[in-house]
Structure 1
């Protein structure tokens, strides 16, 4: 059996037989206690009663010798249970004597959470073609409508709260929540049937911290500026799904998977009449 450049054979001998020690007990000695013999020397050591260890030295450095000595120092007292002492018994002997068992405790992964920042922005939201988001008849559905002058009272005002992401975001996007000002309703990306849909969700408590996996993680969106003051809003809970509007008026504001205009949906929005109401 090979161990750090040494071939080791263990065999049974009479317990009255005494052999020379392999290594000096002195901490200051760098030399082996074996007699001066040629390079292919053989050292013998009485480890324990009934066991004799024979070592044939290979061309190896002092580090290998030290490793062997350390291993020998750690060996536990052991007697063979039978006169047969083969390779399997030798392997078990070294495993039980040298290998130290170490218990590893699994550390539970912490749940990522988003923390609300102090800045809150009040604004109107309209799509790339200037259709405004309005709420029809107090329903839980938003629509996109082109409003004429004098109908600004129908525009929905939003309170946009920013959140700190638990991990750096390579897409340079900002986690936000969009609430209808002076209300408890928030935009939420909710699974309805087999696909996510945009709904208005009423929240009665505070949202200072939103943890991934809790009941309110569908309120978070990644807001990303796309140039020319345009922004996209991607669901944090359902990556790849974006808030979007149709090209026609009076169509519901919904979620879609594609960001290109070829999808038949508009995903670019501008924020108008912005005003910081909390900082």
Structure 2
């Protein structure tokens, strides 16, 4: 049992044959659900001090933008559409990358992004010299479990107020973005705050 000061724990010991309650300095670890919250939503140093096993975890989120548009699969690509009861939006599977090479507190938490219940992962590559967001037929766990981080699949997940941004690790300053017009593909853009939306709301689903 711990108390409000995370460096102190209650300990029972036998002193002079008498069971005695004492305060001991201890190495307290926050509960798993708090670690997950810290990793995905705050980038807190408390999370960085946790054991790797504690933050090696997948989380599922619904995603929408300020116009209440959600992402849906259209063949092998993602497009946006206004949410209604007839729409089946995708859910994002976020998994933290444990390769320390790509950890950058100033940019956010490096994550892999998969589509729940589909062996599809978001991937950044070039088409005719243009950084492009694509879907690859990959199981997110297979990508995550590689010894070396799979850079084209990595995004810096950063919190800006109550919203999230996703910056490509392979292409710095290129962000996942959506058009303000429904039916357009989810893309990468370098033009933030102009014609495209780069801030998204994530809703935990697990």
- Residue 226 of structure 1, aligned match among 152, 156, 160: 160
Residue deviations 1:258-278 (CA, integer Å, cap 9, x gap): 222x2x111001112x134xx
Q: Report whether the alignment pairs 1:189 with 2:124.
A: yes
Offset of residue 192 of structure 1: 0.7
TM-score (normalizing by structure 1): 0.50
Contact kept? 1:143, 1:252, Cα under 8 Å = yes
Is the partner of 1:250 in helix, strand or coil? coil
Report deviation, 1:172: 5.1
- Residue 125 of structure 1, aligned match among 31, 45, 63: 63
The C-alpha deviation readout for 1:106-132, integer Å capped at 9, x for no partner, is xxxxxxxxx894221111111232210
RMSD: 2.1
Cα distance in structure 2, aligned partners of 1:241 and 1:165:
21
Runs of 4+ more than 6 Å apart = none
Q: Measure the CA separation in 2 of the matches of 1:256 and 1:132.
A: 18
Alpha-carbon distance between aligned partners in 2 of 1:195 and 1:172, rounded to the nearest angstrom: 22
CA distance in 2, matches of 1:258, 1:174: 21
Distance in 2 between residues matched to 1:249 and 1:259, nearest whole Å: 18
Are 1:134 and 2:72 matched, yes or no? yes
Q: TM-score, length-normalised on structure 2? A: 0.67
Q: Structure 2 unaligned runs (5+)? A: 1-51
- For these two proteins, the number of residue pairs brought into alignment is 151
Instruction: Measure the CA separation in 2 of the matches of 1:210 and 1:196.
Output: 25
- Unaligned stretches of 5+ in structure 1? 1-114
1:159 alignment counterpart: 93
CA distance in 2: counterparts of 1:254 and 1:236, whole angstroms:
15
CA shift for structure 1 position 159:
1.1
After TM superposition, the structure 1 = structure 2 runs for residues 57-136 of structure 1, keeping only pairs within 5 Å, are 117-136=55-74
- Structure 1 partner of 2:205: 275
> Would you say the 8 A contact 1:128–1:230 is kept in 2?
no
- Shift, 1:174, TM fit: 0.5
**Deviation for aligned residue 1:134:** 0.5
